[in-house]
Amino acid sequence: MSIIIQTLVNKGKTNLFKKLLNCSQSTCECLYSRKSSGTAKKFLSFEEVVAQRRAEARRSIVVQVNSEASFSELYGYCSKYATVNGIHHYKNTGGEHFMLIEFSSEESSKAAFQSCTTHQKDLDIMALNSPFLWFRAATGKKEIYKHSATLASVNGIEPVNEDSLFKDLINCETVSDQIQLLYDRTMLNDLGARLRYMVARQIECVLESLYANIAVRPFGSSINGFGKMGCDLDLVLTNTVTDEMCQPGRRLVYQDKRAEGGRAPWARHMQCVAELLELRVAGARRVQRILNARVPIVKFAHHYTDLECDLCYNNMSGVYMSELLWQLGSLDPRVRPLTVAVRRWAAATGLTNPHPGRWITNFPLTLMVLFFLQQKTTDGFVLPTMKSLVRRAGKEDVRVAEENLNCTFLRDMNKLPRECYAQNEASLQTLLLQFFEYYAQFDFQEKAISINEGAPIRKPNAQPLYIVNPLEQALNVSRNVSFEECERLKSEVRNAAWQLDAGLDRQKGDDWGLVGLIEQKTTRGLKKLLRAGNSHRLVSVKDLFNETDDSEPRNNLRSKLE
């Protein structure tokens, strides 16, 4: 795999450049060369990245161990069966230790799988092939393994320490550095991505024996480049009938089993998948069936990886949407950090909320950032319009999702002329301020946001917030947003523009720059009381909530206090 790294200009970006050089190849999925003197530009395609991740998962296993100290023994034991590429250690919230082992090839991982065994002869347990295993204590004399290997990562998915994050944000030189730091510290890391593909692979393993051409893929923020550590795992199950599988010239044809019954057959299959999750997928817990929805979903928690998962069927448009977002994020290294900062700000203000409701969610919010980056600000735009990607699509880009939805757009970003993106050099600080200013004056009443057009368009109806679905332009992805929530969005972007503009100078105190924007309102209230010497008032938790108006931050604070 070849990569070319974008050359960057100012200091904040130079730090990024250094980090990119240090990061492992598998995490460098979005590098390109800008302003390089005639160097060929190279973007990896989304499909290449996904194929790499899926292959990686096929040659990996996750083994529960006693502690980090089990590494040496595990490495030595597994090396007897196959060549080990690397071992990553992590703990789940239950304090249990795990090692993700990547073997050198799928072939060699098969040898390791053949050496696996089931627990014991127990009528309640049915044998199961799964990439999630545990390492039994050695019986008899312990073997001594000599090697010089070291763990690729230790405590690899540890939650971000918020106190140290805020301390480091306060000590940054510029707001741009703060935004970059927030992104570097909180973005989904390599191990986080690997584990998401392992869960997908585990479900695939169970279903492979039931369905002929099954695939389970992550989509959404786990793979679109905007995910943070600990984000939920959206999964889609597909059962594709390939041309190869239905050749008319072949005379021996499988007898089909037609699903009879009133409800859409796939709702019934998803019911069956939910049963299988409960019965056959080790680590799957709290399985919930939401099968009467337009897109039937099975929700579950995956204990070994600490992931909250949503599994749906055949929602390939969700995958293509993730591809589109990933591509746009890969075009310029400012897109992802800026989006992550906006997502974090929205969560802190209570504009977004992990629970579904009448408020905006991260996906439409991300579209708002992308749309802003398509605008010709002072010097030029950062991102191309979706229209221009569709116009440049070739035969190889044709994709049709469920319900004949045309999801065709240019996939190979190397074919996109240089003048179509990154036409300005604005710093992250400038872009964040301009983002808030842009939406502070946006005409939400009359206009809709469309990344297809890259310019505001007339709203087709009176829904308070209108953000066109880029793949299905007749739909509004924010149709759930109420008038009150839209008003709150308008007022929060105005506040943020004002607050950021007034707090750009790091001499302004601890709340300067990004810090003031992403602090929970409740924490801010707490700090104010403490600064004013009113700590005695903290006996009443109610006092703290006087500043807040939403239940989510309150719950956060309450759990902190308890």
* Count of residues engaged in binding Mg ion, rule: CB under 5 A: 4
Q: How far apart are CA 101 and CA 519, in angstroms?
A: 38
Closest CB to ligand CTP among residues 133, 235: 235
Closest CB to ligand CTP among residues 156, 227: 227
Closest CB to ligand CTP among residues 308, 453: 308
CB of 476 to ligand CTP, least distance (A): 9
Residue 468 — left, alpha, or beta (φ > 0 → left; ψ -120 to 50 → alpha)? beta
Position 232 contacts Mg ion (CB under 5 A): yes
Residue 318 contact among ligand CTP, Mg ion, none, beta carbon within 5 to 8 Å by kind: ligand CTP
Position 468 contacts ligand CTP (CB under 6 A): no
Closest CB to ligand CTP among residues 103, 363: 363
Position 477 contacts ligand CTP (CB under 6 A): yes
**Stretch 321-340 residues interacting with ligand CTP (CB under 6 A):** 321-322
**Stretch 353-372 residues interacting with ligand CTP (CB under 6 A):** 361-363
Residue 186's nearest CA partner among 74, 339, 320 is: 339
Closest CB to ligand CTP among residues 329, 503: 329
- Identify the residue among 96, 208, 232, 425 touching ligand CTP (CB under 6 A): 232
**In 125-188, at which residue ranges do the beta strands (DSSP E only) sit?**
132-134
- Identify the residue among 156, 296, 318, 516 touching ligand CTP (CB under 6 A): 318
- Identify the residue among 73, 234, 332, 485 touching ligand CTP (CB under 6 A): 234
Site map 248..287 versus ligand CTP, x via CB under 6 A: ----------------------------------------
Residue 52's nearest CA partner among 85, 22, 97 is: 85
Phi, psi of 472 (to 5 degrees): -140, 80
DSSP 40-90: PP----HHHHHHHHHHHHHTEEEEEESSGGGHHHHHHHHHTTS-EEEEEEE
Residue 109 contact among ligand CTP, Mg ion, none, beta carbon within 5 to 8 Å by kind: none
CB of 470 to ligand CTP, least distance (A): 9
Q: How far apart are CA 200 and CA 198, in angstroms?
A: 5
| Residue of closest CB approach to ligand CTP | 220
* Count of residues engaged in binding ligand CTP, rule: CB under 6 A: 17
CB of 407 to Mg ion, least distance (A): 19
Position 234 contacts Mg ion (CB under 5 A): yes
**Stretch 200-229 residues interacting with Mg ion (CB under 5 A):** 220-221
**In 247-293, at which residue ranges do the beta strands (DSSP E only) sit?**
284-290
Phi, psi of 406 (to 5 degrees): -80, 115
Site map 187..226 versus ligand CTP, x via CB under 6 A: --------------------------------xxx--x--
Length of the chain measured in residues: 562
**Residue 250 CB contacts under 8 Å (≥ 6 apart), including other chains:** none
CB of 374 to Mg ion, least distance (A): 23
Residue 362 contact among ligand CTP, Mg ion, none, beta carbon within 5 to 8 Å by kind: ligand CTP
Rounded to 10 deg, the angle between the 335-349 and 362-373 helix axes is 130
Q: How distant, in Å, are the alpha carbons of 288, 507, 517 from that of 174?
A: 45, 11, 14
Q: Residue 312 forms beta bridges with which residues?
A: 236, 297
CB of 234 to Mg ion, least distance (A): 5
For residue 407, the Cα-to-chain-centroid distance in whole angstroms is: 21
19 is written with which tokens? Answer: 């980090």
Question: Buried (b) or exposed (e) across 85-111, using 16+ Cβ within 10 A?
Answer: bbbbbbbbeeebbbbbbbbeeeeebee
In 469-550, which ranges are continuous DSSP H helix?
483-502, 514-518, 521-531, 541-545
By CB under 6 A, name the binding residues for ligand CTP.
219-221, 224, 227, 231-232, 234, 317-318, 321-322, 361-363, 469, 477
